[in-house]
Structure 1
Amino acid sequence: MKQPERIKGRATLSTVLKLALAGGLLYWLISSGAIRLEYLTVSTGSLPGMTCAALLALAAMQIGAARYSLLLSGVGTPVGASAALRINAVMYFFTQCVIGPASGDVARYYYTVKETGKGAGAGAAILMDRLIGTAGLLLFSAVGIGLEWNLVQDSEIFRSIVIPLGSLFFFLWLSLLLGFVSLTAGRAKAVMLSLLLMGVGTGFYASGAAEALEKGLLPVFAGSCLFALTIALLLPELKPGAGLAERFRTNRVGEKVIDLLDAVLLYADRWRYVFLTVLVTAVQHLLLISSLFFFSDSINIPVVPDFSEVFLAAPLSYLAGIIPAPAAGLGVNETAFEEFLKLGSSGVVVAGASIYLVQRVWITLFSLSGLGVLIFKTKTLPDG
């Protein structure tokens, strides 16, 4: 079999498996009663709340354009507000509506290059956007757990879920964070950041707040910090265009890797853009969580969850969407939100999948604006 045919075959198989996963999860949610048609209805009196929820979701989507624009500016690849909104719309369309190997990030990269002609800058911004987004969800997950701390302490099931999943994401994110700091700002700052995190964690456990979880989380926290710190100490300190350039610029792939690395390293001297992006990301996450809460208060479900319960379940469910699945984690997010919300409410709220599905429908409808961009806004690659 020729190489292009083999790649196409793997892509097709991957798509089929993802569809099977999504279909199986949705079938289970419907058959178990987590998704019911009557849950998805909206009374006339609830229309203002539904409108508010939809507008919050739309605002969160549009804030994503500002977030990406800030990161592009940080690597010297600025785009105008209208271009950022167009790219954001196309990204959401591919993420929500297109089934296949073309993801939202691929579309975002492609159309950013069409606007700017700078592939390395686009790649660096997308990479940083993913890192900050995941870090934000981890932080919001920790806050949500804190809001429902008594419940987490008393739930063996919750501890069995939170510990392995939280450990995995924390381990990966911390390794990336300290490694990036070591590469861009030097080992000394990476060590200082690691010691700061260890100090915060030590104070947390010394306070006795984590008594019920310390057997599971304390070793993971300490091990993750030490392993990530080891990575940071082993990595060299890099500067844009120096060190590895001559070694890797021997072929086209090496040149692309170095260009991307050089672009990422630009953030070392432009932390203001990263800090602003962190703030914008926090607002975006809060809007999405608030949107879920207002959706839950608008549809016809038996019991409406408290905001703290939604705050607990939502970030963990968004993190579950990292699992490869078609149409922005279709089925995966609904299942995660159903189970986390059920655990967070001690089994009282049993329609979490319906709540999340309503938000997904609205975001998908809003993402159709990206189709209009694809149809009516065509541009050619800039020269050079």
Structure 2
Amino acid sequence: MVKQSKKLLVQSLKILFSAGIIFWLIQSGKLNFSALKNLLTPGAAALALFLVLLNLFFASERWRILIRSQGMIAHPWSVFKLSLIGTFFNFAMPGGVGGDVIKAYYFTRENPGSKVVAVTSVLMDRVLGLFAMVLLALVVMVYDINHIMKTPALLTLLWFIAGLFVAFVIALSLIFSQKVYQNGGLKKLINKLPLSEKFMKLYESMHLYGKDGKRFLLVIFLSLVSQACAITFLYLAGTMAGFNEVPAKTYFLVAPLGFMATAIPISPAGVGVGQAAFYFLFNLYTGHPSEIGPTSITAFQVGTFLMSLWGAFFYLRRKDRVEATEIAAN
């Protein structure tokens, strides 16, 4: 009873936190919903939703490739349906990882004995997705280095992103390295940890993802394509909202950093956090206050939510449906 009360309290605080940020942005004029009216035309809306669909599909394919790297059969449509269910629960459950728990659970139900694969594939999907965001942000910042050098805050951000990139490379190299695996040094360290048996299974499973270099590169490529679809959406939303002075390269720098912020599980699907992060980043990069950040990410979140309703439909049709709160408790 106490445990459930604590969870309810935390969830309520997350929702209030998200709502508070949105309220502040609207009241202060930093989030202008009326600027999005041009996206409501049939042609623009269809294109926007198609870009969201592509974003979700390529992200789903990334997860499917990771599942297949563990020697399991995974069909595109089946995995995509689970991904849509997960996307819906990102909105329905407080915290951006809620959907990951749900889709991993149902993957295990469809494939008995695959619990470790489900957990590690979802975890690796998140890790490599974030790595691709860091990579894209770093490449764009280096490409626009002259502008970065003129702004101390952006230069500091560049060093931070470069540090993250190096940390990712070192961590992935240690996990994937065959020499480290055979040497046993990392295994000895894991054996000294609490719950060492579970951590060992996790490490051994994650190690397998690095055995096929081509497949690993395909996962990174799919991540970048998925991000490109999302960024194109943001550019479309920003342009149609009247922010024509912002070049496309700005979106390619800001979006990966903004999406990294929304991945932090402190609000449902990053709502509120995304608006604040995009507002700050766009203003930092352009050098002046603007509504473009909160406006464009709000449009993307609305489009993603609309597409995620298909996930709700697929969830309700499942004969083995289980209440999400019960899944999260396990």
TM-score (norm 2): 0.85
Matched letter for residue 297 of structure 1: T
Distance 1:344 1:101 in 2: 26
- The percent of aligned pairs where both chains have the same amino acid is 21
Task: Decide whether aligned partners of structure 1 residues 274 and 102 sit closer, same or farther in structure 2, where only a CA change above 3 A counts.
Answer: closer
**2:263–2:270: 8 Å Cα contact kept in structure 1?**
yes
- Equivalenced residue count is 320
Q: 1:141: Cα distance to partner?
A: 0.7
Matched letter for residue 274 of structure 1: F
Partner of 2:185: 236
User: In the alignment, is residue 333 of structure 1 matched against residue 274 of structure 2?
Assistant: yes
Instruction: Kindly name which structure, 1 or 2, has the bigger radius of gyration based on alpha carbons.
Output: 1
User: In the alignment, is residue 360 of structure 1 matched against residue 301 of structure 2?
Assistant: yes
Question: Which residue of 100, 103, 109 maps to 2:104?
Answer: 109
Distance 2:3 2:294 in 1: 35
Question: Which residue of 179, 195, 200 maps to 1:186?
Answer: 179
Partner of 2:54: 59
> Which runs of no fewer than 5 residues in structure 1 stay unpaired?
188-231
Q: 1:43: Cα distance to partner?
A: 6.8
Partner of 1:126: 122
TM-score (norm 1): 0.74
Question: Which residue of 184, 189, 203 maps to 1:261?
Answer: 203
Matched letter for residue 326 of structure 1: S
Bigger CA drift: 30-39 or 356-365?
30-39
User: In the alignment, is residue 312 of structure 1 matched against residue 253 of structure 2?
Assistant: yes
Q: 1:256: Cα distance to partner?
A: 4.3
Task: Decide whether aligned partners of structure 1 residues 163 and 270 sit closer, same or farther in structure 2, where only a CA change above 3 A counts.
Answer: closer
SS at match of 1:305: coil
Partner of 2:72: 77
**1:89–1:367: 8 Å Cα contact kept in structure 2?**
yes
Q: 1:35: Cα distance to partner?
A: 0.9
In the TM superposition, what whole-angstrom CA distance separates every residue of 1:227-283 from its partner, at most 9, and x where no partner exists? Answer: xxxxx9x97266xxxx899x79xx9x6654444333223224333332221121111
Partner of 1:16: 12
Q: 1:327: Cα distance to partner?
A: 1.8
Q: 1:304: Cα distance to partner?
A: 4.8
Q: 1:351: Cα distance to partner?
A: 2.3
Partner of 1:156: 152
Q: 1:369: Cα distance to partner?
A: 0.7
User: In the alignment, is residue 344 of structure 1 matched against residue 285 of structure 2?
Assistant: yes
Task: Decide whether aligned partners of structure 1 residues 35 and 286 sit closer, same or farther in structure 2, where only a CA change above 3 A counts.
Answer: same
Bigger CA drift: 87-96 or 99-108?
99-108
Distance 2:302 2:179 in 1: 45
Distance 1:265 1:177 in 2: 9
**1:65–1:85: 8 Å Cα contact kept in structure 2?**
yes
Partner of 1:146: 142
SS at match of 2:185: coil
Q: 1:91: Cα distance to partner?
A: 0.8
**1:244–1:258: 8 Å Cα contact kept in structure 2?**
no
Partner of 1:279: 221
Kindly report which structure 2 residues correspond to 1:194-233, keeping only aligned pairs within 5 A, or say none: none
User: In the alignment, is residue 369 of structure 1 matched against residue 303 of structure 2?
Assistant: no
In the TM superposition, what whole-angstrom CA distance separates every residue of 1:33-67 from its partner, at most 9, and x where no partner exists? Answer: 121232121178x6534432321121110112211
Distance 2:298 2:226 in 1: 19
**1:69–1:84: 8 Å Cα contact kept in structure 2?**
yes
In the TM superposition, what whole-angstrom CA distance separates every residue of 1:162-193 from its partner, at most 9, and x where no partner exists? Answer: 544x26634652442232134xx224xxxxxx
